[in-house]
Amino acid sequence: MFYFSDVWAGYNNFEILKGISFNIEKRDFTGIIGPNGSGKTTLLRTATKIIKPFKGEIFLEGKNIANMPLKESATVMAVVPQDTVFMFPFRVIDVVLMGRIPYINRFGFESRKDLKIALEALEFVDALHLKDRFIDELSGGERQRVIIAKALTQKPRILFLDEPTTHLDINHQAQIFGLLKKMNRVSGLTIVAILHDLNLASDYCDKLILMDNGVIKRKGSPTEVLDYKIIEEVYKTVVIVKENPLTLRPHVFLVKK
């Protein structure tokens, strides 16, 4: 459904991604993992048309995204960034309604239908009770749910997330991941998420892509990717890998020196 074909990309003629190729199937929940500086964020930026690749092509549902106008791609893919800084305090419902912008023509305003979609999205993320609150009054977890709701109103077929739970407490983390799982299993949404926490990635994702220095070190199921030898090589630290008894997925444990 979405694939990279030998993509090279970076900033200011400096290459960060060096020949990246991978394929995302429909309804996949894919996690992109790797140490800092491995190119995860660059990969996300290239996938979402923020930067143009130097070489290679990216296809979404058979179409080359380079030929897609921005407005069109905004109706197919949505992005949830790590954290959104709000310059001015918007109300939650107004923030969520912004997700409908790609669907409203130049001189138009939101319709009743748009409002319905926004309210449904808020309900899905269990934030409907927050709709008239101001976005800067919310907790980190609440805010992230609102941003996800906004992304959902874009009615995307693929959702990209950049470390969606890094700043959150574990209870909020569990909440967000539960939500993502719901979106993936129940709504059939294809999800690609950059994840910091290897074990969370292992528990929730169907597929993992491990990056290191701009190349894909290994991709496949969590069991295939979270092999202790590979992890040690990429993260340069000693680890052991054991199965999580609850999820039956491999977990990585740090070995103290």
Partner 1 sequence: MNKFKIGPFLFILSFCLLALIVLNIFIGAVRVPVNKMFEPGFFEILKLRLFRALLAVAAGSGLSVAGIILQTVLRNPLAEPYVLGVSSGAGLGAVIGLLFISLGIGVNIAAFIGGVVTIFLVYKLAKIDGRMSPENMIVAGIIVNGFLSSILMFFVSNSSSGNIHSVIWWLLGNLQVYKIAPVLILSLTSLAGFLISFIFSKELNAMSLGEEEARHLGINTESVKIILLLVATFVTSLAVSICGIIGFTGLMMPHIARRLVGPDHRLLLPTSVLMGAIFLLLCDIFSKVMMAPKEIPIGVITSFIGVPFFIYILKKSRKVYFK
- Using DSSP bridges, classify how beta strands 55-60 and 63-64 pair: parallel, antiparallel or unpaired: antiparallel
CA distances from 68 to 18, 61, 117, 235 (A): 23, 12, 25, 37
Pick 103 or 177: Cβ nearer partner 1: 103
Task: Select 85 or 246, whichever has its Cβ closest to partner 1.
Answer: 85
Rounded to the nearest whole angstrom, what is the least distance from the CB of residue 72 to partner 1 in the complex?
A: 7
Binders of partner 1 in range 92-151 (CB under 8 A): 94-95, 98-99, 101-102, 104, 106-107, 109, 132, 134
- Going by C-beta distance under 8 Å and a sequence separation of 6 or more, which residues neighbour residue 187? none
CB 130 within 8 A of CB 146: yes
CB 172 within 8 A of CB 144: yes
Q: Which is nearer to partner 1, 21 or 84 (CB)?
A: 84
Q: Decide if residue 42 touches partner 1 (CB under 8 A).
A: no
Q: In this chain, which stretch among 28-36, 72-80, 214-222, 227-235 interacts with partner 1, using CB under 8 A? A: 72-80
DSSP state string for 126-173 = T-GGGTTSBGGGS-HHHHHHHHHHHHHHT--SEEEEESTTTTS-HHHH
Part in contact with partner 1 (CB under 8 A); list of ranges 31-39, 68-76, 191-199, 223-231: 68-76
Residue 67 lies near partner 1 (rule: CB under 8 A): no
Q: Does 26 sit near partner 1 (CB under 8 A)?
A: no
| 197 near partner 1 (CB under 8 A) | no
Using rule CB under 8 A, residue 14 touches partner 1:
no
What is the three-class DSSP state of 204?
helix
Nearer to partner 1, 153 or 173 (CB): 153
DSSP H or E stretch at residue 121: helix 112-124
Is position 81 an interface residue for partner 1 (rule: CB under 8 A)? yes
The CB-of-45 to partner 1 minimum distance in angstroms stands at: 8
CA distance 92 to 133: 6
With a CB cutoff of 8 Å and minimum separation 6, the contacts of 125 are: 145, 146, 148, 149, 152, 179
Residues in contact with 108: Cβ distance below 8 Å, sequence separation at least 6, in sequence order: none
Contact range with partner 1 by CB under 8 A, out of 19-27, 44-52, 173-181, 246-254: 44-52
**Residue 75 is a binding residue for partner 1 (CB under 8 A):** yes
Residues found near partner 1 in the complex (CB under 8 A): 11-12, 45, 48-50, 69-75, 78-79, 81, 84-91, 94-95, 98-99, 101-102, 104, 106-107, 109, 132, 134, 154
